[in-house]
Structure 1
């Protein structure tokens, strides 16, 4: 392709970063690729693959150590400002002005880009419809939820139509409905404005819908091309397991994922989907002495991603496979009981008479769109926010009256991990163990046990802010488990994590649940809902549906060839209820 046909051309691009402690990191180790104009290209890969570095180089924010990058026919290193005048770039942490309202943030970015009022009148309604921020125009950005902030950042990025749009993990923290609306807008811009878009993403289903995909690892390209062509590399290697003597899907998944020759294993509609190495097809799969019945299924893009990644790395990132304990199903004891829970803020009802119960050892999912009330419910369950009315029993205590004593039995892992970035791994663990009341030998023994379990010893003296993403996640989980809580709350704890990191994380959660720890989770990754025993879906503060993942899937229609996905079911449930609400008020 010539310069008029390409949005980006990278030739043998190399970039090395020096850490404060440890060896230099080769962020890009000789990347070469071309991106055609008017197309949507996805960059996918694990943490540290080099995706963000490549986007920052393309945006002219960083200069390569070697090689060259041309964007819209312009050498970025020579003319970074000329490139920046023609592109828009949304980093992972987009710069919102938290004291300004939603409308004022949009107006500010429109001013910076010289957008005339007539253009604003055309683009603003589309942006507000996409982000569902229209009714929050006057709200300060600092008072928006994390997901709503992300969506406002997207709107500010799209306030003009550049020649090239660079998006770095744009949908992290965004619910499936908003993700779908975002991609509808992006595709419309590509078709109508011939916009070129390069996006890095942790959602492999998003990459599958792009025209081109670039799979990266350790600063190199593993594969590139049409997603359908990449998917074909996993053909004949994908299977669906039947259950093994009634074993829970997540327990079967954890055991299968640890077997030699198994590239990937994920729960799916009460069963487990497995990707095997080609050489292992003739060997029967056995778990705890039981031979598993399998059926071949069509490959997905995610299956091919995991195969290519495994071929490139072997098992170097799978050495920490969690050994699950003997399975102990959830007991009959209800450890969390919520009845007619209500939370109001002035005349706004965030949670509207929600009721559910969670049994000991169960994994229970709180799902819903941004603004559905799940975060507010979560905060009340953790004792961080008082309920306006209703009853809330957690670990046998009434959180409305028990206070700190009840919270001692709870562990909490937040989306941003709540770690102290300037403190080392050891200092973080020391601090949190002291905060939980651990002292002397008991404290030392517990810290050493968790460091060994989560393989944190190699980073003992490294500030937590410099940890790779997956190890930050491990440290946050270790800190939450120091006092051996009965109940573990996970608030979008895998947001932004790559697929392998998420599987390793859930292996650890499965092991904890099998030891009797109750887990309550919020997530926007609908495939993670498959790890839950039961799920509740909230919207506008109300309970829309509750049941097992298989029961939830029945709310969406099957096609002739494919069963509905969890995401399709989620969208169907929310849209049906919103339509009913709209009809009742019209």
Structure 2
């Protein structure tokens, strides 16, 4: 497509959805104006419920705007959606792979659906299979692929024909850093070689930083637009890194800063220090009181910093209430959290844990322990065995051999007893979509043995803790992603478990939602709740007290984030930047693999 032509032009586009049951009209897009040039890579970013998916579906001709004009490739998509669909490809968040069919059979099916002549298929397949590194797996069932390889197969099926415009709705959600990097290499290669126009929605601001232009949406309105460099400038001269004074804790400093939301825009842990963004009128004396002796240096703004500045300017202070949560937990539990005991009590003990599926070893002789009040991260590429390990720890899957004790209960002999003392939030939204928020909480509370006044009290408490008031009568399936995640957390904590298991709980969540989530998690840990978490946002490993990195079922590294980082960066010379956790993770996994390709796309 000619770069001088517009891929998409929107003028005052408005879209609303009416719920017949609640008789409420939800405004999804409000008078959106934008112009996206052809031959470009464009990102749509914004909090949950911002309207990103709705805008992509309008572009794809899958729904019609209530008003306004939307032209795609010079065609009025409202008047002639089929003409647009003949020239574009669209990959939704949940792409419809047929898991019982092989990789090749899925490609053939989508080629048939798109009417691709058989004479053109062989060359297209060869190219797509080479780009996605799936040529070795054409006979493997799609359901037996790892998450990252499923996404690559979904992209290949989307591209069986050569479109003029590719629409991607969060294509890397739930994908590990290695696979995420490979997917973006494929996208960039397509743009360079086929002059393809690509519009992608993403929760990863580092991905948006790779794009030519970024559009920031909020509550259906276009909040800002520009190049990544232009958007970063919103945080100019407001970004700093604070190194805690001797005897101080970086996570406590980060919590203190992010709680001061009238003064601080954002704060995240960063290599044993804290990276933060200030409000524009912050006085030096106010900052000194917050830092309590921590040393400070200026930092270059990143796209995520600019994004957070824009959102805070729009929303004002967004405070996460944690005091009531901490106080309630302290009343219910003895003072055995990190502050009281130093986290010395072992609540999970794993020795020589093995799990096999037929001839396939998913977890190979893994050993570790987790202490009370600790945040323990299980990390690894898709198919590494971490989800299998996770399910064994929860009592959802028996081990093949080895010793596994959780909350003082041996899981090989008394899994049901242990499950009453743990909470679990699954990777995929596992609540009942046709039940309301309150009905889900009542059901899960009852399943955990809560009844009467106790159940009523706990429902009221978690509704407040997770900012779900006003949503009690909303069907959970209709909630935005961020609200679904909060509801899942509320259901997992309604019975006040000693140990909380979180399987990729922030997958697809925007930075604002992730900050609120982690503030609640650190508060829970400070109050004595033990947290076991898997995540593909590697920067979230910085919140963990210790992390375990697995690949192919084997333990590659374990320790504090800094101890694990030192395996890749043992010595950091003056002026050398601290290695990010994503760079650390990739370095450890690639070093272990030694460049070998042995078919680890199989699902653990």
2: CA distance, partners of 1:372 / 1:122:
32
User: Secondary structure of the residue that 1:280 maps to in structure 2?
Assistant: coil
- Name the counterpart of 1:263: 265
Give matches, 1:39-188, under 5 Å: 39-116=40-117, 119-124=120-125, 127-128=128-129, 131=132, 133=134, 136-142=137-143, 144=145, 146-188=147-189
Distance 1:225 1:429, change over 3 A: same
- Name the counterpart of 2:482: 470
- Name the counterpart of 2:587: 572
Number of residues of Structure 1 aligned to a counterpart in Structure 2: 581
| Residue 353 of structure 1 pairs with residue 353 of structure 2 | no
- Name the counterpart of 2:412: 400
User: Secondary structure of the residue that 1:456 maps to in structure 2?
Assistant: coil
Deviations for 1:545-579, whole angstroms, at most 9, x for unmatched residues? 11221222234457965332111111111111111
- Name the counterpart of 1:500: 512
User: Secondary structure of the residue that 2:474 maps to in structure 1?
Assistant: coil
Distance 1:240 1:178, change over 3 A: same
2: CA distance, partners of 1:358 / 1:250:
19
Asked if structure 2 preserves the Cα contact closer than 8 Å seen for 1:285 and 1:291, the reply is no
| Residue 453 of structure 1 pairs with residue 465 of structure 2 | yes
2: CA distance, partners of 1:161 / 1:384:
44
Unaligned residue ranges in structure 1 (runs of 5+): none
- Name the counterpart of 1:543: 555
| Structure 2 counterpart of 1:553, from 548, 565, 576 | 565
- Name the counterpart of 1:328: 338
1: CA distance, partners of 2:421 / 2:131:
41
- Name the counterpart of 2:349: 337
1: CA distance, partners of 2:408 / 2:159:
49
Distance 1:153 1:408, change over 3 A: same
TM-score by length of structure 2 reads 0.91
TM-score by length of structure 1 reads 0.94
- Tell me how far 1:161 sits from its aligned partner: 2.5
- Tell me how far 1:22 sits from its aligned partner: 5.8
1: CA distance, partners of 2:24 / 2:289:
41
Distance 1:88 1:408, change over 3 A: same
- Name the counterpart of 2:308: 306
2: CA distance, partners of 1:231 / 1:289:
25
1: CA distance, partners of 2:232 / 2:214:
11
| Structure 1 counterpart of 2:432, from 420, 423, 428 | 420
User: Secondary structure of the residue that 1:342 maps to in structure 2?
Assistant: strand
Unaligned residue ranges in structure 2 (runs of 5+): 328-336, 599-604
Asked if structure 2 preserves the Cα contact closer than 8 Å seen for 1:538 and 1:545, the reply is yes
| Residue 562 of structure 1 pairs with residue 577 of structure 2 | yes
Asked if structure 1 preserves the Cα contact closer than 8 Å seen for 2:427 and 2:505, the reply is yes
- Name the counterpart of 1:8: 8
| Residue 532 of structure 1 pairs with residue 544 of structure 2 | yes
- Tell me how far 1:135 sits from its aligned partner: 5.3
Tell me how large the CA RMSD over aligned residues is: 2.4
2: CA distance, partners of 1:135 / 1:519:
38
User: Secondary structure of the residue that 1:24 maps to in structure 2?
Assistant: strand
Distance 1:513 1:28, change over 3 A: same
